[in-house]
Structure 1
Amino acid sequence: MYGDPLTSRVACPLVRHMLGNLKAAMNTSWDYSNITQEQANRGYTAANFLFGHSETVAQLMATLGLYKDNTPLLATNREALRDRKFKSSKLLPFSANLAFVLYACKAGPNDDNPDNKFLVKMFVNEEVVRIPGCNADACPLDTMLQQYANITNSCDIEKICDDDDDDISGTSVIIINTTVFIATLLLSALSCS
């Protein structure tokens, strides 16, 4: 997936959408362990689900910088890279999925900030995968947003997909059929001490 630079940029609208959902869920005025029906009716979103083919998940993984090998796979080094990180046969089964889970954690007695802390875990095919740039499985949301700020800030899909100013047909690259699960789970109330 990392052979063409376009591959790791074309899913930036998905990344921007998922990160936007995570930011929107971050509301320190709520008691996340006790969401009322009234709060839920005012727009509380528990989850956001997107569906697409495994090719969509592969492009999303590349955009997120997951499973990137130091050496690019070529016809001449295939045997040397037999144990490479990005193996589509392993990472992209028919039911491939990627999920972000946002945790609103109550601040502990020794925390400087009395408000909730927000941590994110990423799951690929139901297994925790460390977010690039984070030093733990549960990554502070601010750290994750900084990690992907360049992707979201430079996401102009017409410039990414269109080599010719008169031809915008390249933008159809991001409109892909649907069948594989990609989820952004927005909240899980836990004590994250």
Structure 2
Amino acid sequence: MKLCLFILVSFALYCSSESSNIQNHLGSRTPYRLKGNKNDSQIKYPNCKDSKIWMVIRHGTRYPNAKDITKINTRLKELKLEILLRHRLGKGELSDEQIKKIENWTWDLDLEKEKFLTLEGQDEMIILAERTRKRFPGAVKEKYNNQTILFRYTATQRAQQSARYFANGLFDKKEAQDVLFSPAAKVDTVLRFYKHCDKWQKQVKKNPLTYTEQKLYGISKEMNDTIKSVTKRLGLKNLLSLDDVNLMYKACGFETSWNKHFTSPWCYPFDVRSVQTMEYYQDLKYYWMDGYGHDLTYRQACVSIKNMFENFSSKGGPSASFLFTHSGTILKILTHLELFKPRSHLRGDKNVPDRTWRASDIDCFGANLALVLYRCKGVDYVLALHQERVVKLPMCEKELCPLKTLKEYFHKSIYECDYTDMCSLKKDDL
């Protein structure tokens, strides 16, 4: 009896550990609750005081786009029936409990809610704001004043609502109702510059060559082994397609992210190794589209960087600027700042397990980058935080970096950031 109990407990711990490991590798759909720094202590340096903060924040957990909603509602429901049938024939490696959860799984998401902020996304923003205010009381004033705090968001429901719930976390209920938000602009070259950069759209995003490495990995031995593993785990007769496995990976990410008390049953087809394969498959796309693959990708982020330096160099202006945006903006700004740069370009011939460029860590839902201005004995310094943790900028000797050093290093970003010229399609580009 004791032996049986030990085996059951050990199995439960193993399953819990495996589930936790899988949740940490869901790419850009990884839940922020697993990545944010929960230590909200004030960040202090001797003889220094925080005076300004410039923070760019990816919206919180959202629902899928219309295309994925439809695919999940049709294809995964078909696969669900097949999985249940094969299980009755004694096929597959899932437990009875896992099969029961797949059997009870439903998907009734309204298309009208595509990309809308979820309840979990609301909580993410509230908690992030509460911790930010505690860490930097000098820059984030306890009482709301529209002259000292700036809120900007893109013209999307998920960014707008993220800003509103973030404000709810910064101030008490009455003050939060009085917060003024800068009107969203359809064309915003600070918050979503890449959307309006014609040259980048043509040469990078819509260029088939951008996806060469991802496609190469899609036919690699590692990917073929993953597809076989998922197919075997589910007990299916016919080998799944990469599209099917990727759809399961997406459903696993979305459903797990928007419910902190629930792991999507579409995570069950994956073990740690196979989910890391899918993670790398997604990373290859974002690396070459939003990261270090093409210099125009990150050069255009000078518009946002310039905005930060202008605020830090001014005696006036808001002491706290909170900018609510999207994955594409976060990744390009991180790249412009030379953060999370791998030793060499990511390629599709083999997974790189120890890479620093990992969307699950740097671009999860609610991902954020904060640059904080400190005044230390009359000299200005800048502290960088990613996912609420202090990071040392590569061009600096220490975490607390002189503003003068950064301005010299990013001289071109501040004074030679000609967005129109950079992004305009010329005859030679057509």
2:365 to 94, 104, 108: 94
CA offset digits 1:145-175 (Å, max 9, x no partner): 112112223311122222326x9xxxxxxxx
Question: Which stretch shows the higher mean deviation, 120-129 or 46-55?
Answer: 46-55
1:5 to 278, 295, 299: 295
Contact 2:303 2:413 in 1 (8 A): no
CA offset digits 1:120-154 (Å, max 9, x no partner): 10111101111221110100110111121122233
Q: CA 1:44–1:8 in structure 2 vs 1: closer, same or farther (change >3 Å)?
A: closer
Structure with higher RCO (Cα < 8 A, 6+ apart): 1
Q: Percent identity?
A: 35
In the other structure, the counterpart of 1:19 is 309
1:71 to 344, 347, 362: 344
Contact 1:103 1:119 in 2 (8 A): yes
The letter for the 2-side match of 1:54 is S
1:55 aligns with 2:328: yes
Q: Using the TM superposition, give the Cα deviation of residue 44 of structure 1 relative to its aligned residue in structure 2, in angstroms.
A: 5.5
In the other structure, the counterpart of 1:138 is 400
TM-score by length of 2: 0.31
Q: Using the TM superposition, give the Cα deviation of residue 105 of structure 1 relative to its aligned residue in structure 2, in angstroms.
A: 1.4
CA offset digits 1:91-136 (Å, max 9, x no partner): 0111111111111112xxxxxxxxx011110111101111221110
Partner Cα separation in structure 2 for residue 94 and residue 44 of structure 1: 29
Q: Using the TM superposition, give the Cα deviation of residue 57 of structure 1 relative to its aligned residue in structure 2, in angstroms.
A: 0.5
3-state secondary structure, aligned to 2:394: coil
RMSD value, Cα: 1.9
In the other structure, the counterpart of 1:149 is 411
Contact 2:311 2:317 in 1 (8 A): no
Mapping of residues 150-189 of structure 1, within 5 Å: 150-164=412-426
| Structure that is richer in helix per residue | 2
CA offset digits 1:6-38 (Å, max 9, x no partner): 21112110000001111114xxxxxxxxxxxxx
Partner Cα separation in structure 1 for residue 346 and residue 353 of structure 2: 9
In the other structure, the counterpart of 1:189 is none
In the other structure, the counterpart of 1:117 is 379
3-state secondary structure, aligned to 1:102: strand
TM-score by length of 1: 0.66
Q: Using the TM superposition, give the Cα deviation of residue 87 of structure 1 relative to its aligned residue in structure 2, in angstroms.
A: 1.0
3-state secondary structure, aligned to 1:7: helix
In the other structure, the counterpart of 1:82 is 353
Gaps of 5+ in 1: 26-42, 107-115, 168-193
Partner Cα separation in structure 1 for residue 422 and residue 317 of structure 2: 34
Q: Which has the larger radius of gyration?
A: 2
| Structure that is richer in strand per residue | 1
Partner Cα separation in structure 2 for residue 144 and residue 152 of structure 1: 10
Contact 2:372 2:382 in 1 (8 A): yes
The letter for the 2-side match of 1:133 is M
The letter for the 1-side match of 2:293 is G
Misfit runs of 4+, over 6 Å: none
Q: Aligned pair count? A: 139
Partner Cα separation in structure 1 for residue 414 and residue 342 of structure 2: 23
Contact 2:368 2:387 in 1 (8 A): yes
